[in-house]
Amino acid sequence: MNRYPEARPFDCFDNDQAGRIYGLRMLSLLEHIPININRTEDGLLVVESKNRSVTLESDRPFRVQLQEQLSSRYKVRQWLPPKAFKDWNDCLLHKPMEVKADNLKQDQINNLAKRRNAGPKL
């Protein structure tokens, strides 16, 4: 980052827990801060760095929580995959999500009429 002062770091990892931990590791490498990440018995993540301990909440981005507690020189942004893809792996492999078309109201009425007419006749 010193060589290219105008460069902006982006977190492009997946949004699952493993990807979020990779984002924390990227931030620590970028800032030259050694961190230790542990999981508690409750399943929460605890990050230890600079003689501080930060417990991370799973409903907020880990990177943002860590930057609130530790000083950071760089603002790391998150770059989400395009809306047609679940994550960056699917984007690279060009595997878009299947789009389920909504049934039209008339289709729903026709299907209901078929099911009613298909029942036993009295």
The 10s digit of each residue's pLDDT in 12-25 is 887 778 888 888 88
Q: Evaluate if pTM is beyond 0.85.
A: no
Handedness of CA 84, 20, 65, 46 (dihedral sign): positive
For the chain, the domains span: 10-117
- pLDDT score, position 93: 92
Return the pLDDT at 87: 84
Instruction: Write the CB contacts of 25 (distance below 8 Å, at least 6 apart in sequence).
Output: 35, 37
pLDDT score of 122: 62
Structural contact between residues 59 and 15, judged by C-beta atoms closer than 8 angstroms = no
Structure tokens belonging to residue 5: 């002062």
Cβ–Cβ contacts within 10 Å for residue 68, how many?
10
Q: What pLDDT digit, counting tens, does each position of 37-52 carry?
A: 999 888 888 989 888 8
Instruction: Give the pLDDT band of residue 102 (cuts 50, 70, 90).
Output: low
